[in-house]
Structure 1
Amino acid sequence: MPLPSDARTFFLGGLFALGALAALYVASSIILPVVLALVLNLLLQPAVRLLARLHVPRAVGALLTVFLVIGALAGLVAALSVPAANWAERLPEGIPRLEAHLEVMKGPIQALQSIIQQAEQATDAPGRGSIVSVRRDLGITGALFAGTRSALDGLFTTILVLYFLLVAGDIFLRRIVEILPTFSNKRQAVDISQQVQEDISAYLLTITAMNAAVGAATAAAMYLCGLGDPLLWGATAFLLNFIPILGPLFGVGIFVLVGMLSFDSLWWALLPPAIYLGIHLVEGETLTPMLLARRFTLNPVLIILSLVFWFWMWGVLGAILAVPMLAILKIVCDRLRPLKALGHFLEGE
């Protein structure tokens, strides 16, 4: 594996990486929808090709595929809005039950609060005047309006870019092949493109299928536990499982809270998160690694760092896109001689 021997290569590469990351952060409102559209294009491109083999025009096939995705999202939101609103209404009624379950934690929490207050009093300098700051607050309505508008803008950009990517097909690959100077360069470009499409499509399809199985198992388990609204909890498990490690941990916290709000007995309240954790362990430690081991062997430490970093950069969507982007980087590095050392560094056991 060739390693750069010139120190200037490291410095210039580091400066380029920092500049690229700064641009990704500053222009996230534009770049994030484009990256999401590129990943969805890898997932949906096989469906468009299948429709093309059935003599459906590419533009019509892309439009049907996009409408199918939008319809599925709209149906999911419509189906989950009612049970989510019901749980929001039940939240004030369940607070006394939650306080009763947390009574055992009252003593340590009070002790921690007293320690924090003593530390704050010790750090306050005597005679220091208080500083009064005036901050203009737009209120909850303004914050929700701004967040909704930003989300709708990003969704519209993603759908628009995704449609034209599906219609374009392999046009960018053909243009790259036409301008490359040698036959070996052309073959390498085609090889990288095909490998990225095959591996990422297989990864996304496998993960989506396994997450759907986790959602179905969670919905059935919550129904048998008497928690109610199994569709809501199945959809929650399905969506959270797209974020490796961190998503299931957050899901355990959600089911702990929901169990405490729903059941009087503490042991019965801990049953839903225990079942959800067991389902995730079976899926995450046995089934999914067995299906993806031949295609993806990424370093788990780098996966965690990638999740944390892209969540800080782009939020929840960044955490969802972290592993596909890391896998694409490894595939490209493995097939470019100057970057093979980096590809080897990204590889797991």
Structure 2
Amino acid sequence: MSQKIQADGTIKFFITIIGLVVIAIVLRELSSIFIPLVIAIFLFFVFSPFNNWLDNKKVPMLFVTLIDLAIIFGLLYGVGRIVVDSFLQFSEGLPVYGEKLSNMVKATSASWGLTDPFFTDFSFEHLIAKLNLENIAGGIFSSTVSLLGSVLFVLFFFLFVLSGNETIYNAIKHRYVYKKLTPELAKAKEEIDNTDSTIDEQNILDEFHQQRQLRDQQLETTFKKITEQIQRYIIAKVGVNLIAGIITTIVLSIIGVDFPIVWGLFVFLFNFIPTIGSAIALVFPVLFSLVQFDSVGTMILVLALMAGIQTLAFNVAEPMILGKRLNLNPLLILLSVLVWGYIWGIVGMLLSVPLTAIIKIIISNSTSPNMKFFEHLMSQEKDNVCNYYISLAFYLSLRQRSYIYTIYCSLNKISILVFFFALI
């Protein structure tokens, strides 16, 4: 009997894995549709409290939609204007720093004894002239058109979700509440009709209504939690990036690095992309400081300070804040970035944490022991919980899934120790 149960569990496990792989392939192949749709749904949840407040004020839906669009376009215009102005300011001083770079490369090649004409006759202006500016301009134009098309696609989905959210909610409610309970009610009535039971039919109906109200409440709580988690993530992420960008601007201003606002903007924007963004935001200002000051010591100082700022902000503070606010394990956050990055690229990395938080909320509403197990894995558990499962695993002789939790908790502790010694 136990072997049969174990075999059934193994089959279900592999079926689940195959299903997840198929879902990942579909999401990746149809990313051009799913990415704008997911972003639009995120925007809906972000604007949901504000839209509910306007709805309570009896503001017509048309004006609510126009206000949301005005806010979105205003934010896009504001961010775009800051980015364009910053890079225009940077491009004005580019010839001066190009000449400094040329002199530095020539001096370095002479001191190192290099005879390659590329280094001995290096010229930044000639290097720019050799570039195919037409192809670059064409690439920029096509990228801009693609970006505008994606933005319009997102707005189209956003309008659809905004206008049809009640229909979608009622469909989910019908599937989750009524379709689940109606067969149970019909079965109970059939048993009463076919037997001489003295059970009062009204009691059955009262119990049915109680179950329906309970499921209604669970569904509303789920949507509320999803909204809160998305808002918490956005607030935390924007806050950490903004603080890191401001500190970077102040530090580089004190050192005397030109265009500190541009480099602070780099830190703010690129760190929305996990891992890769931090490297990009670090490399450019460090190389620029080398060209500006022609000093390796100053470059090392800028490198050390910026690396320290980004390490504290994005490797220490951000995982702690996001893990605490979203109740997600930091190790799970790293894995989610890798998985969603594989499926949707950079956009997947950007959306990885809130998507994982939403999945966790949905799993938490399940009564299945298997789903509860995964919920515990995804949560930011305390050490005493891990110790409890470790002890329980030994008592159960590592049966069923307890050994998985044991290995997980052990690896989690080891990763924390490795990170600690790496900092030392």
Residue 95 (1) aligns with residue 101 (2)? yes
Matched position secondary structure for 2:325: coil
1:236 alignment partner in structure 2: 266
1:299 alignment partner in structure 2: 329
Q: Answer whether contact 2:319 2:330 (CA < 8 A) is retained.
A: no
1:238 Cα deviation (Å)?
Answer: 1.4
Between the aligned partners of 1:27 and 1:241, the Cα distance in structure 2 is 26
Answer with 270-279 or 30-39: which moved more.
Answer: 270-279
Q: Answer whether contact 1:59 1:167 (CA < 8 A) is retained.
A: no
Identity, in percent, stands at 26
Q: Answer whether contact 1:47 1:65 (CA < 8 A) is retained.
A: no
Out of 46, 50, 63, the residue aligned to residue 47 of structure 1 is: 50
Q: Structure 1 counterpart of 2:73, which letter?
A: I
Q: Answer whether contact 2:240 2:313 (CA < 8 A) is retained.
A: yes
2:221 alignment partner in structure 1: 191
2:161 alignment partner in structure 1: 165
Q: Structure 2 counterpart of 1:154, which letter?
A: S
Answer with 138-147 or 219-228: which moved more.
Answer: 138-147
1:215 alignment partner in structure 2: 245
Between the aligned partners of 2:100 and 2:341, the Cα distance in structure 1 is 31
1:308 alignment partner in structure 2: 338
Between the aligned partners of 1:93 and 1:57, the Cα distance in structure 2 is 60
1:329 alignment partner in structure 2: 359
Out of 355, 358, 374, the residue aligned to residue 342 of structure 1 is: 374
2:170 alignment partner in structure 1: 174
- Alpha carbons of structure 1 residues 14 and 205: separation in structure 2 relative to 1, 3 Å: same
Residue 22 (1) aligns with residue 54 (2)? no
The Cα RMSD (Å) is: 3.4
Number of corresponding residues: 319
Q: Answer whether contact 2:44 2:158 (CA < 8 A) is retained.
A: yes
1:170 Cα deviation (Å)?
Answer: 4.8
- Alpha carbons of structure 1 residues 281 and 172: separation in structure 2 relative to 1, 3 Å: same
For residues 251-290 of structure 1, what are the structure 2 equivalents within 5 Å? 251-284=281-314, 287-288=317-318
Between the aligned partners of 2:321 and 2:9, the Cα distance in structure 1 is 41
Out of 131, 143, 150, the residue aligned to residue 147 of structure 1 is: 143
Between the aligned partners of 1:285 and 1:311, the Cα distance in structure 2 is 18
- Alpha carbons of structure 1 residues 31 and 217: separation in structure 2 relative to 1, 3 Å: same
1:305 Cα deviation (Å)?
Answer: 3.0
Cα deviation per residue 1:100-127 (whole Å; 9 max; x = unaligned)? 8987xx89xxxxxxxxxxxxxxxxxxxx
Q: Answer whether contact 2:323 2:380 (CA < 8 A) is retained.
A: no
Between the aligned partners of 1:296 and 1:35, the Cα distance in structure 2 is 19
Instruction: Name structure 2 gaps, 5 residues minimum.
Output: 1-5, 114-133, 182-211, 382-424
1:27 Cα deviation (Å)?
Answer: 1.2
Matched position secondary structure for 2:257: coil
Q: Structure 2 counterpart of 1:340, which letter?
A: K
Between the aligned partners of 1:317 and 1:241, the Cα distance in structure 2 is 13
Q: Answer whether contact 1:101 1:266 (CA < 8 A) is retained.
A: no
- Alpha carbons of structure 1 residues 65 and 256: separation in structure 2 relative to 1, 3 Å: same
Matched position secondary structure for 1:295: helix
Matched position secondary structure for 2:326: coil
Matched position secondary structure for 2:69: helix
Residue 200 (1) aligns with residue 196 (2)? no
Between the aligned partners of 1:101 and 1:29, the Cα distance in structure 2 is 49
- Alpha carbons of structure 1 residues 217 and 168: separation in structure 2 relative to 1, 3 Å: farther
1:55 Cα deviation (Å)?
Answer: 4.1
Between the aligned partners of 2:364 and 2:104, the Cα distance in structure 1 is 52
Q: Structure 2 counterpart of 1:332, which letter?
A: I
Structure 1 or 2, whichever has the larger Rg, is: 2
Between the aligned partners of 1:173 and 1:278, the Cα distance in structure 2 is 46
Q: Structure 1 counterpart of 2:170, which letter?
A: R
Between the aligned partners of 1:4 and 1:96, the Cα distance in structure 2 is 69
Between the aligned partners of 2:288 and 2:7, the Cα distance in structure 1 is 54
